[in-house]
Structure 1
């Protein structure tokens, strides 16, 4: 790997760390340059704009999300779809709890007007990909007879994502333990309904 790529990778690791604690919007070239012990102009040369910096951090975060959340569930090919989904959901909550219970992708999400900023385009694609991946898993469970034949995978994931959003909110109000317990109660009840 070239020196420039190593430097960029180090910058992105530090930027990801800062965005995980303070949110993506708080990430500026000036603050990041200070944290990386670089000049603003030196750091700016790697990204050319705040938008490009934030997009690069989101893409970096997406790679880490795939490594931490999806890859471990993919490795074990002998488990059922229900077990795979449970592993994915557990990893997903773990991803959040590593950021003080807050999902970086959701925290960066903003409602926009007619013009959608580039960071929001990347965020939308990231979340759509994740929802699509979960939907495919439920569809596989329907195909192999694990879940009932009339189960609508899109509706199932819509409801499952609602539990996740509730857990996200409950974490900030009631703490990790209450959020975790309510989430898993809801997930168990929902998965049981997929089989009836």
Structure 2
């Protein structure tokens, strides 16, 4: 890896930590340069603009999310989708709570601008990728008989994501312990419903 690439990775790592605490919009070339111990012109040479910095950070954050949330579940030898989903959810909550309870994707995404702003479009693609991944796992659970054949995978992913959004909000108001308790209670109830045999399917 070249010196320039190493410096760029260092900058993005520092930017990720700052944005996770203060929000993506808080990032400035000058502020980040000071935090990294670099000159403003030196940091600017790597990205050329604040928007390019933010876009690079979204890509960096996406890869960080995959490595922290998805990859550990992929590496499981366990074949049961339920267990894989539990691992994903645990990683997901840890991701959400890694930096003062802030999820960079959720904090930065403003849906009204998603069609006009490259940054919002990039955030939308990342969130859509994660939702699609959840749908795929639920579909696998249906195919291998873990979940009810009548289950709608997209509806199930919608409900699961709703629990995460609630946990994100409850964390900021009530703290991690209470948020986690409500989240996992709701997850258990959801999984039981997914696994139930509907009378209409008998």
Tell me the TM-score normalised to structure 1 length: 0.97
Q: Which residue of structure 2 aligns with residue 17 of structure 1?
A: 17
Q: Any unmatched runs of 5+ in structure 1?
A: none
- Structure 2 vs 1, CA of residues 23 and 82 (structure 1 numbering), >3 Å: closer, same or farther? same
Tell me the TM-score normalised to structure 2 length: 0.94
Quote the offset at 1:113 in angstroms: 4.7
1:91-129 deviations in Å (ceiling 9; x for gaps):
000011111112110001113358521110110000000
Aligned mates of 1:24, 1:157 — CA distance in 2: 26
Structure-to-structure mapping, 1:69-80, within 5 angstroms: 69-80=69-80
Structure-to-structure mapping, 1:103-142, within 5 angstroms: 103-113=103-113, 116-142=116-142
Q: Any unmatched runs of 5+ in structure 2?
A: 197-202
Quote the offset at 1:21 in angstroms: 1.2
- Structure 2 vs 1, CA of residues 61 and 113 (structure 1 numbering), >3 Å: closer, same or farther? closer
Cα pair 2:113 2:120 within 8 Å, conserved: no
1:169 matched to 2:166? The reply is no
Structure-to-structure mapping, 1:33-182, within 5 angstroms: 33-113=33-113, 116-182=116-182
Quote the offset at 1:45 in angstroms: 1.0
Name segments (4+ residues, structure 1) moved above 6 Å: none
- Larger mean Cα displacement after TM superposition, 75-84 or 155-164: 75-84
Aligned mates of 1:114, 1:61 — CA distance in 2: 18
Aligned length: 196
Quote the offset at 1:77 in angstroms: 2.7
Aligned mates of 2:43, 2:14 — CA distance in 1: 12
1:130-172 deviations in Å (ceiling 9; x for gaps):
0000000000000111101111000000011111101011111
Aligned mates of 2:182, 2:78 — CA distance in 1: 28
